[in-house]
Amino acid sequence: MQPKTIVIAIGGNSLIEDPKHITVESQYSAAKKTARHIIALAADGHRIIIAHGNGPQVGFILRRSEFSRKILHTVPLDSCVADTQGAIGYNLQMAIYNEAAKLGLRVSAATVVTQVEVDSQDPSFLNPTKPIGTFMEKDDAEYHRDSDGWHIMEDAGRGYRRVVPSPLPVSIIEIETIKTLADQGVMVIAAGGGGIPVVREANGQLKGTEAVIDKDFAAALLAKQLHADLFVISTAVEKVCINYGKPDEMQLSRLTCSEAEAYSRDGQFAPGSMLPKITAMIDYVSATGNEGIITDPANLYKALQNEAGTHLVP
């Protein structure tokens, strides 16, 4: 196969396999498994750029901040994203190095702490709906609302949660740095957690903002701006399904963009799960005319051989 430039977006299951294994050590063990599948692609000469999720890890930082709020300052959300980019990137870099060494390969990996510009006029800033962090009692939620300016909402009788804007990504600030490293054969880890959300002020200066960018949308933008030959979203299932969980559930091996849009309109994909992945993939495939793949980590290699996964085509 002709070597390709591939952007791979890995989800939370690539770092936290289940709720009982959430320690840093457990996350590294999970990262090793994912790295093993990615190294197989690099061994074939493909240039790999990795984006990753960070939802649970940001939640852990926010929870620690909550417990220590009487003795330490709170951590702004943009800084939480930056912190997790570095920590998760480190785990992935080490896993990639070690797994490559087992095969006698020398693979250089580097993490780029990535800012992603969003539009300050994005409608989500007026209507924050993205829940983050842990559940709170009403008193704690009201304290943060009054003291920290948080938007809060009651969540189906389970308690209160903070909600933040989730604006669409506009541009990747460090795109030239990422491209330069990839061109030199470095496996780049970038736009982690959707990127650090920044807005551009009237004077052209960048400023961090309290928001969360969808990881799959940011990864699709990264793939477009890098002119990647292939965009892959690695998730918990081998193939996209319709009628998921029902007796007539059906796995899909191939989807056109128009078919994917029709299934989306019919409510076949859950808004907090598969829908953003499908939407991001449609965006990439429609813009580039290239193929996209949705599959799980274990089937990454087979998917590139057209033996697994769901392939989205124009």
Catalytic-role residue among 193, 215, 290, 309 = 215
33 part of the active site: no
Is 306 labeled as catalytic in the residue annotation? Answer: no
What distances in angstroms separate CA 267 from CA 24, 28, 234, 271, 312, one per listed residue? 36, 36, 22, 9, 18
The catalytic position among 53, 91, 130, 290 is 130
Q: Is 54 a catalytic residue?
A: no
Question: What does the block give as tokens for 285?
Answer: 């495939």
Helix axes 257-265, 274-288, angle to 10 degrees: 150
Beta strands in the chain (DSSP E): 5-10, 47-52, 109-112, 115-118, 130-136, 151-154, 160-164, 169-172, 187-190, 196-200, 206-208, 230-234, 240-242, 250-252, 254-256, 291-295, 310-313
Would you call 267 a catalytic residue per the annotation? Answer: no
Q: How far from 37 is each of 34, 44, 75, 106, CA to CA, in Å? A: 5, 12, 34, 16
Total H helices, total E strands in the chain = 9, 17
Catalytic member of 13, 33, 59, 302: 13
Look up 32 and say whether it is catalytic.
Answer: no
What CA–CA distance (Å, rounded) separates 49 from 52?
Answer: 10
Please identify which of the residues 4, 12, 179, 302 carries the catalytic annotation. Answer: 12
Q: Which amino acid is at 87?
A: A
Q: Name the active-site residue from 53, 195, 277, 309.
A: 277
Place of tokens 């196969």: 1
Tell me which residues are annotated as active site. 12-13, 130, 215, 277
